[in-house]
Structure 1
């Protein structure tokens, strides 16, 4: 006897069909996804706090810097004022930042912190001098 070719029929005799809807989107579980979402959320917040200064600044995410810019180690971000852009480097932020706890919350806080520090450098301010909402806690 020869093996019969496999037929794709269900119990009603119909051939296999593709779904009408596309498959569901994969969850945001990868570190790259969570980092990009964290940077985007912090950038949106900063644009709202500084609409004139940061409204048209592009925040981007890259894996690694192409070269050392400051010569004092691996940069976590770079700023290009002429192009009005800030690039945050995912690998140095995730690998070189010492976290209190290595969980999603603390990784997100590290990404947001670097985004705030980069924006403060872009604006020529100390990160603690950022006026986010005009609240005084003195």
Structure 2
């Protein structure tokens, strides 16, 4: 006697796409995929540079027309190493390089406050170089309590 397969047995029944291997409906994940950060390191760096630059512009009339810009990396290293900023007095520009400031500065405590203080300190030092002054002279009221 020859064994014959029926058409139903030859091809298994296809389940709808929403069912899993065991015939159950697909379940939703308990935890959603991680959300993108509300603010990135680049945005925090830009915010710290912008607030420090606005403070300096309001305190020093010589800096009102100066453009504070953020670059990722300097074009090349010089004799002193990798520059953190570049002052172009003739063009009235100060360019702060984000990666050397963030990665090559050594913090004694690695948290948001100390990173912001380090970035603002770089802005103050670059502006002091532009004005040919000491950085501590730029914000005397800011450091009065220390």
| Both proteins in one fold, TM over 0.5 | yes
Distance apart, 1:130 and its partner CA: 2.2
Decide which of 124, 127, 136 is 1:119's aligned counterpart.
127
Alpha-carbon contact 1:49-1:132 (below 8 Å) kept: no
Contact 2:52 2:123 in 1 (8 A): yes
Q: Which runs of 4+ in 1 moved over 3 A?
A: 1-6, 131-137
TM-score, normalised to structure 2, is 0.70
1:36 aligns with 2:46: yes
Are the counterparts in 2 of residues 78 and 87 from structure 1 also a CA contact under 8 Å?
yes
Name the structure 2 match of 1:109. Answer: 117
TM-score by length of 1: 0.74
Question: What is the Cα deviation at residue 131 of structure 1?
Answer: 4.8
1:11 corresponds to: none
Q: 1:91 to 1:135 in 2, by over 3 A?
A: closer
- In the other structure, the counterpart of 1:71 is 79
Structure 1 unaligned residues grouped into runs of 5+? 7-24
Structure 2 unaligned spans of 5+: 1-12, 19-35
Between structure 1 and structure 2, the one with the greater Rg is 2
Distance 2:142 2:83 in 1: 30
Structure 1 residues 26 and 103: alpha-carbon distance in aligned structure 2, compared to 1, 3 A threshold: closer
> C-alpha offsets along residues 13-64 of structure 1, whole Å, 9 cap, x if unaligned?
xxxxxxxxxxxx9621x2111111100000000000002x100100000111
Q: What CA RMSD, in Å, does the superposition of the two structures yield over aligned residues? A: 2.4
2:55 aligned partner: 45
How many residues align? The count is 116
